[in-house]
Amino acid sequence: MWVVKRAKTKSKKIGILKKKYLKALNIKNCNCPNVYLSPGAEQHIKKEHLQDYNNYFNSIKYIISKPDYLGLNPNVKNGIELVRDYKKDAVLISITINKNGYLYLSSMYIIG
């Protein structure tokens, strides 16, 4: 019998969401302002939003640190949305607070 082991993949820290933003959103169940990106979330963005990934993935850290707009996602429990306006596009980053209180980037795409 063959046993296939899955490679362990780790999430990487991709930015820091300032505490003043968490306070403005009245978020109390967050243990840490670090935002993490799982390999699966990065693959999702590449697959579903390839052009957005190619154009803005390297800007994620900046968008997280200096969003033009921020709010709660009404469709996702513990969901946060950050938007950064660029001349040509508005880029939305979706962040979810997991059950342990950590922030995970779940998606990124152009809106409007």
Query: Taking the model in full, what pTM does it have?
Result: 0.86
- Evaluate the CA torsion angle 70, 75, 51, 12 in order and state its sign: positive
Residue 29's pLDDT is what? 84
How high does pLDDT run on average in the chain? 91
Could you give the CA distance from residue 87 to residue 20 in angstroms, rounded to a whole number? 26
Confidence of residue 93 (pLDDT cuts 50, 70, 90): very high
Could you give the CA distance from residue 72 to residue 48 in angstroms, rounded to a whole number? 22
What is the chain's percent helix, strand, coil content, to nearest 5? 30, 35, 40
Residue 9's pLDDT is what? 73
Could you give the CA distance from residue 108 to residue 96 in angstroms, rounded to a whole number? 12
Residue 8's pLDDT is what? 61
**107 near 41, Cβ under 8 Å?**
yes
What integer is the mean pLDDT of 68-82?
Answer: 94
What integer is the mean pLDDT of 15-25?
Answer: 94
Helix segments in the chain, DSSP class H: 19-24, 39-48, 50-56, 60-65
What integer is the mean pLDDT of 62-84?
Answer: 95
